Chains A and B, each alone.
Chain A
Amino acid sequence: MFHFSNIIRTKGDPKIVEGGPSLKQPADQLARALGWFSIGLGVVELFAPRRVTHTLGMEGRETLVRAFGVREIMAGIMSLSVEKNAGLWARVGGDGLDAAALLSGLTSDNPKKGNIALALLMVGGIAVLDYRAAQDTKPRRPPRDARRKLYPNRSGFPKGIESVRTAARQIAAHAGQNEVKQGDERRVP
């Protein structure tokens, strides 16, 4: 089977013959996709807010859209990092804010309310994905109050700590005596 990484191997170094199973779970792939989606949406919101507000019939809310863009980019970066779970929860919170902002524009006099309804539907769908990914990528660190094995007998000193401390003290005393002797010799004219 062809492995792209083999092309960049230094000549003579081992090359992959058959790949093993990946540690990545489907939830990790979903988190990655949501992270990039978040960054893409954030960039649009940050740099083309008028286009967004015009599409939704919510002119005058450009500053809010820009702020949401920054939030999307930050959440996206976090979702792509080692702390993806925090990033995904940030996205779930952001979905709530998005929905609230959209609902505020869903008034009877808004000629684009059809677009808002569609956007709300999309936010709802993505919120489900965000929530699912956040649930599935929960860190598997043991809780703080979990029972843990302790290692009170693993000193690493087969002869005991006291024996080591005594030996170290003797060596230090011996070295000290030598220093005094050398000092005396130096004082001799």
Chain B
Amino acid sequence: MKALVWHGKEDIRCDTVTDPEIQDPRDAIIKVTSCAICGSDLHLFHNFIPGMLPGDIMGHETMGEVVEVGSGVDGKLKKGDRIVVPFTIICGECDQCKRGNFSVCETTNRKRHLADKVFGHTTAGLFGYTHLTGGYPGGQAEYLRVPFADATHIKVPAGIPDEQLLFLSDIFPTGWQAAAQCDIEPTDTVAIWGCGPVGQMAIRSAILLGANQVIAIDCLPERLSMAEAGGATTINFETESVLERLQELTDGKGPEKCIDCVGMESHVMASLPDTLLDRAKQMVMAESDRPHVLREMIYVCRPGGIISVPGVYSGLSDMLPMGAFMNKGLTMRTGQTHVNRWTDDLLRRIEDGEIDPSFVITHTVPLEQGPEMYQVFRDKRDSCVKVVLKP
């Protein structure tokens, strides 16, 4: 089959690889009908997340049709079922899964000894990601083996196009969780840094959850226009002062809720010296993340507020203003997404026509063009916001 394979920094190729096989009775194989490139795939593309190996298949936003099931799938899936594959692999049985904390499933990381050492405790296995999270082959391919398939799936009905359902795999529940864990009140202002695909979903989620005002921060006109279309007031950080504008828009009080949809690769600008220093340190491996957005959020957030972090951080961040964080009594909530905690509700909202997540797609191309689209997406060429690949 064809698959997008990681060969090193900025080197992804469309290779021919062997087809996946059932390895465990709880496995299923799907024929991929649609998959997407995620912003966090770019961290892997840049080799900023440790633990990738040449030959790893990329991709964790995938859906398709079940073509083979293991004997232990227990009737929960059958050939021909149409499923979206959540990016977190879950067993559905461990203590964390029973609590709904699916992204920290204690069972599914097959290389848990690595995660135990690096993170202190293992987290769930993830598709198409680092070997710290199991090194499972990803879904930017023609076929995908879904481990623990009896639990790791979202069954979706026929009649709704792939484009509306695909993002249940990651960015829609990720944006939703980011907003939900802010405990939004009807009087709240929610400020969202980063108007990439997750930021766009977070904007819509904050609106659906009843925020009084949503403010979106980015520098790309196409992304700001999409944010504005979704109901946000926008700030272009290249032409305006984020701090001053947020003060103006909140009567000097600061936003009650702040969401970081940027993560470890924040924009580097000469006018923001901390971003230059972070980049220099990242280059010589003295720091793994560039946490400018975290610093800014802690500074502007209203005392007693909540900071939500769906953006990916990989390791060590320097110079976080913990004094301000502590004295302002802020709360930080973060984590990979507990996808299956939210997807029943989100699927219903899609079926009811409350939201159509396909608004974010700007490019749809065959799988073979995937490697070039990584570059287009990374360079923000052709006003690219979200790429869907068709195997």
**Given A77-B283, A172-B210, does the pair A24, B11 have CB atoms closer than 8 Å?**
yes
**B383 close to chain A: CB less than 8 A:** yes
The reply to whether A151 and B55 form a contact with Cβ atoms under 8 Å apart is no
Pairwise interchain contact A151-B21, C-beta atoms closer than 8 A: no
Query: In the complex, which residues of chain A have a beta carbon less than 8 angstroms from the beta carbon of B375?
Result: 23, 140
Bitwise interface map of A from 39 to 80 toward B, beta carbon under 8 Å scored 1, else 0: 000000000000000000000000000000000000001100
Asked if B7 contacts A154 (CB within 8 A), the reply is no
**Is B110 at the interface (CB under 8 A from chain A)?**
yes
Q: How far is the CB of B187 from chain A (nearest CB, A)?
A: 10
B173 within 8 Å of A (CB atoms): no
User: Do the beta carbons of A20 and B207 come within 8 Å of each other?
Assistant: no
Contact of B283 with A83 in the complex, beta carbons under 8 Å: yes
Cβ contact within 8 Å between A141 and B17: no
Interface contact B210-A168, CB-CB below 8 Å:
yes
Q: Are B222 and A150 in contact (CB under 8 A)?
A: yes
Which residue of the partner chain B has the closest CB to A172?
B186
Interface residues of B in 331-364 (CB under 8 A from A): 353-357, 359-360, 362
* Chain B contacts for A161, CB-based, 8 A: 207, 230-231
Once the chains bind, are A16 and B55 in contact (CB under 8 Å)? yes
| B9/A82 in contact, CB under 8 A | yes
A109 contacts partner chain B, Cβ-Cβ < 8 Å: no
Interface-side segment among A2-10, A96-104, A181-189: A2-10
Q: Is the CB of A149 within 8 A of B5?
A: no
B380 A142 Cβ-Cβ under 8 A: yes
B229 touches A152 (CB 8 A): yes
In the complex, what distance in Å separates the CA atom of A158 from the CA atom of B5? Answer: 37
Interface residue from A4, A11, A16, A154 paired with B359 (Cβ < 8 Å): A154
Whether B10 lies near A82 (C-beta < 8 A) is yes
Contact A77 B186 (CB under 8 A): no
Residue of A nearest to B135 (CB): A10
A93 interface contact, C-beta 8 A:
no
CA distance A119 to B19 in the complex (A): 55
Judge whether A122 is part of the interface by a CB distance below 8 angstroms. Answer: no
Contact A154 B226 (CB under 8 A): yes
Asked whether B284 is an interface residue with its Cβ less than 8 Å from the other chain, the reply is yes
Q: In the complex, which of the residues B209, B230, B382 contacts A168, with contact meaning CB atoms closer than 8 Å?
A: B209
**Restricting to A158-189, which residues have a CB under 8 Å from any CB of B?**
158-159, 161, 164-165, 167-169, 171-172
The answer for the CA separation of A151 and B12 in the assembled complex, in Å, is 29
Report the minimal beta-carbon distance from A182 to chain B, rounded to whole angstroms.
17
Contact B1 A14 (CB under 8 A): yes
Task: Name the residue of chain B whose CB is nearest to the CB of A5.
Answer: B55
Cα separation A168 to B357 with both chains bound (whole Å): 18
Assembled-state Cα–Cα distance A171/B19 (Å): 49
List residues of chain B with CB within 8 A of the CB of A3: 55
Contacts of B382 in A (CB 8 A): 149
Residues of B at the A interface (CB closer than 8 Å) are: 1, 3, 5, 7, 9-21, 23, 46, 53-55, 57, 110, 135, 137, 141, 186, 200, 204, 207-210, 220-222, 225-226, 228-231, 238, 279, 283-284, 353-357, 359-360, 362, 371-372, 374-375, 379-383, 385
Closest 8 pairs between A and B when the two form their complex, measured CB to CB: A5-B55, A168-B210, A156-B359, A149-B383, A150-B225, A14-B17, A20-B13, A5-B54
Instruction: List 18 A-B pairs, Cβ < 8 Å.
Output: A8-B53, A14-B19, A15-B17, A16-B16, A23-B375, A24-B10, A140-B381, A141-B379, A148-B221, A148-B222, A149-B222, A152-B228, A154-B359, A155-B229, A156-B204, A156-B355, A157-B204, A164-B354
